Structure formats: C-alpha cells, structure tokens
Amino acid sequence: MTWLRAPGAEDDKRSMGVVGVVTGSERYPGAAVLGVEAAWRTGAGMVRLWAPRRVQDLVLARRPETVCHALDEAPADVRAWVLGSGQDARERGPALRSLLLEALGSGAPCVVDAGALDLAARHAGPVVATPHAAELRRSLAGLGIDEDDERMRAARLADALGAVVVEKGAATRVVAPGGRSATVQAPTHRLATAGTGDVLAGLLGAMLAARADDAADPATLARIAAAGVELHGEAAAAAAAGGRPITALDVAEHLPGAVAARLSR
C-alpha cells in the first residue's frame, strides 16, 4: 500500500489533510521553506505555518498558498504536525516552547525533528521522530539512556518515547516500539546534502495528515513512515538522474512525479 491519497469528487482541502508546521528560525529559515514545499508537493490539502515573520515571508515568497500564523497564535484545524526542523532547543523562546508542547499534546500525529526532539516524550498522540545519528545519541543521553551498541539505539529510543523512530542515513532504519524495524536503502547517495531531512519531515507530515486515523496504530504508523522514506528516496533518485548533483529543493520538486508513480502502481 502506498499510504498516499489522490483526491476524489467528494474531497476538499480539509479532507485531503491539513498540515501544521512549526519549523524554521531566524538562524535557519530555509528549513521551513523546504518542509512546507515538501508537504504541498506530497499532496497536502492545506499547510499552516507557525513561525517568525522573516520565516513566514520567505515561505510565502515560494509558496503563497500557505496560511501563516504568529508563534503566539493558538493552533487550530490541524490533522498532523511537523515540528522542530531548523530549530535549536538552546535558542527556543517561551512562545515557541508553549506552541510545540500544545501541538505534541493535541493528540494529532506529529513528525518530531531536530530542535523539538527533546520534547518528544511529552506527546499525547502518534509520533514519528526523525533524528540523524548525532541527534539520536543526544536524545538518548537526554533521557538518561546509555547505549553503546549503535544498532540498538533507535530501538531504545522508540521504546523510551513510545514513538516510531526514523534513524536517517544512507540506510535509514524505521523502528517501532517493541523492536519491529525496517531498513530502507537510499537509491542515491546524492541525498547527502543539507536540507533533505527537512524535506522528509514535510512529506511525512502530509502523509500523516491524509492518514491521521490510520496513524493511531503503531505498526501502521511505522509502515507509513517507511513508505515516506521510500518516496523521499525515489524523488531524490529522479532529481539526480544521470549523476546530477542536487539540492534539497530539487528533491521536493520531484515529489509530485514520485507520488504519481506510486499511485499508478
């Protein structure tokens, strides 16, 4: 199953999934641009962004369809969240912290990345955490877990958080609580470039917004996450065809073709 949705005659923007995005910062505004772009191009019905004004302006210049909100504006009408990309917990202000905790406590599925990983344990609904290797080690340390075996780290974090963990890398491991795992091998090493993780977070958010009810089951949530990692790789491979160097935005721009190919299988 692709876990993607094509709209039917009865669908509207809300039934296709409203994605709430709390990503980017004054230091790293591009993370929001990439994540929002990916969410739209994966098929989201609506994308709402909570961010500082500079981040909003950059996102709107690229994707004017996006509905923007200030960090102190209350969340509403969101089916799934993308949290933390392009943020640093050490620089987080009280308004951002409050918003992240409100999103995590909403019960809606959340993709938790980078600067929100330290708050992931506060979730009240389904969570997909997307750390790279260094973030995975820091997350375990923050929970007081010392794990020398790198093969076990994602499983330990999944159990500790009660979340699906996507350990990003050339071979990306998707681990559910209880230890069930899948490994997705990247079809191109061109994904080793800045911002591709932000694209992955955005596309996962769109998939979860469209399948929010299914995501309540941990095993299904892991399957959706693995399908998203595969889709990410397929878009990257299309962008890098012929050995071309690529940027993260290239990956996002090739998502519609990758989505269409999956839906046609």
Residue set of the binding site: 31, 86, 132, 168-172, 197-198
8 A C-beta contact, residue 14 and residue 47: no
- What lies within 8 Å, CB to CB, of 144 at 6+ separation is none
8 A C-beta contact, residue 259 and residue 42: yes
Specify binding-site residues for (6S)-NADPHX: 31, 86, 132, 198
Token pair, residue 44, equals 């989201």
β-strand 181-185 against 171-175: which pairing, if any?
Answer: antiparallel
Specify binding-site residues for AMP: 168-172, 197
* Beta bridge partner(s), residue 128: 111, 164
* CA Rg value for the chain: 17
To the nearest 10°, report the CA torsion of 235, 204, 71, 60. Answer: 30
* Beta bridge partner(s), residue 190: none
To the nearest 10°, report the CA torsion of 81, 36, 5, 115. Answer: -30
β-strand 80-83 against 110-112: which pairing, if any?
Answer: parallel
The DSSP letter of residue 170 is S
Instruction: Classify the phi-psi angles of 196: left when phi > 0, otherwise alpha if psi is within -120 to 50, otherwise beta.
Output: alpha
